[in-house]
Chains A and B, each alone.
Chain A
């Protein structure tokens, strides 16, 4: 029996090697298709218009023209204002979201109260509502609150998220049962237990919520497009969509603005890749 197995593996190994080479080749082709456009776009931020237009096109820049390009971008678009608005939207949404959603998640995971399951299912059901269905009424609501083109209008409707509640609740449930009993005996208040004992224990989940929420806001297009259409309220996403949308023929503008708008998220991804991946892999796709 064992001899037979050995013979078999020796026979296959040639075939196996070929198979392995094919697999690696396929994986590398996909990686190439994925990386080339992004790298070429980023490198475009360093090229002069003449270089971009030269034929045949060169992949790598000859000299560094980034400073000129950046100056040109700023003379056309107020990039710093866009970056500021996007940061306010992203951080202004994410920080309250971490607090509001984890607090609700904590109640669902660690308390017993009447109607708990019904309320939780109602919360989850809001995840099923496609944004397109509520976008017009939501716009009208923000309009009647006089929140159009304000940070309030951008931020407040986006804070509560059943998705984050679901994610945090699962993590709170995994903590040992008697943690809060001990803290209560020590005379700690319920809010103190949540803030000082429970939150630090689900830190990885909180980091995931933080990163994914920042990323969602940074890249969000439809909502800023609707409620922050005034020039000085635009975020990077809708601002660049409006400015560059019809003007990709202004090459250095398009290359440089796109590259710069992407860098903050790229840095977050390079440092915290495992949180991004874990967040998506465990809870599926959002939106």
Chain B
């Protein structure tokens, strides 16, 4: 776009001065990104091979021991299982809800705009507000939802303190907090599908439902994939809501990978090397999933 000075060979003094200015302009951001993103990333590979706490001078090289240890650590394996279960439930539900609601909300009527504004509201609520709110709403003594569920005939409503149900509550609350974003991303995708495609399919005699499957869905595929990918990555990194809603309990039933990593690094143990090794495993896992998804995405869009 900014092709005003697109000639690539330097045009004397003035061009050189502009180049220097450009470097000067990106310097502050570049320096900060290098110090606080790129160096920590490189350092993380080193930290993961150390047996160390906070004190750098006490670090001891242990090679791949931290990685080997992770795969025989029952708690880590359990946290992987919990994160996978969480992701396997949260992501499909979130995507289905997002697609259905966005299809219902795609027209810009005043009613739809208001509804979208409401759905988006939890975005400005911190995880703490969400966590505290739902702890209270589902509280076994005073919770308003607990009371309403009892009125509906459910007995023994103690959803957050039961290891069998706590993870499902976390899934529910996570979806509650984010389905508005998913919906709005898909609404703007639907609105970008050209009208001519709908007109063409209407001439072919397609009904509303058929149109949804044959025009809308293919049209929003790029946004759908993007959303699926970000949701998958986000779910595997789940931390905030678990930390504020259940703290990983009861009986570790909601201790996801990142909650376990956080505990290992910062809660009393201070096992920095080991925690980082587990982060690297998570990172590798996320990279593999991203690459696989890119591959599938490329294939489907070729069709």
Contact = CB atoms under 8 A, between A and B. Distances in A.
B93 interface: no
Given A27-B105, A273-B117, A280-B185, A104 B26 contact: yes
A151 interface: no
A144 B56 contact: yes
A155 to B, nearest CB: 11
Interface in B251-274: 258, 261-262, 265-266, 272
B203 to A, nearest CB: 11
Interface stretch (A64-72, A73-81, A108-116, A201-209): A108-116
B172 to A, nearest CB: 10
Interface string A114-133: 10100100010010011111
A245 B247 contact: yes
A110 B8 CA distance: 14
Contacts of A10: none
Interface string A246-276: 1010010011011001100110110001001
B142 A57 contact: yes
B239 A215 contact: no
Nearest to B37: A126
Contact of B29 (A26, A104, A244): A104
Contacts of B132: 41, 240, 244, 248, 254, 257-258
A27 B104 contact: yes
B36 A262 contact: no
B26 A107 contact: yes
Contacts of B22: 107, 111-113, 116
B139 A40 contact: no
Given A218-B126, A221-B243, A226-B266, A277 B116 contact: yes
Interface in A19-57: 23-24, 26-27, 30-31, 33-38, 40-41, 44, 52-53, 56-57
A187 interface: no
B43 A222 contact: no
A188 interface: no
A277 to B, nearest CB: 6
Interface in B57-97: none
Interface of A: 23-24, 26-27, 30-31, 33-38, 40-41, 44, 52-53, 56-57, 59, 100-101, 103-104, 106-114, 116, 119, 123, 126, 129-141, 143-144, 156-160, 162, 165, 172-174, 177-178, 180-181, 190-191, 194, 215, 218-219, 221-222, 225-226, 236-237, 240-241, 244-246, 248, 251, 254-255, 257-258, 261-262, 265-266, 268-269, 273, 276-277, 280-282, 284-285, 287
Q: Which 3 pairs, one residue from A and one from B, show the smallest C-beta to C-beta distance?
A: A160-B32, A219-B126, A111-B22
Interface of B: 1-6, 8, 18-19, 21-23, 25-26, 28-30, 32-33, 35-41, 43-44, 47, 54, 56, 100-101, 104-105, 111, 115-129, 131-137, 139, 141-145, 147, 176, 178-181, 184-185, 187-188, 226-227, 230, 233-234, 237, 239-240, 243-244, 247, 258, 261-262, 265-266, 272, 275-276, 279-280, 282-283, 286
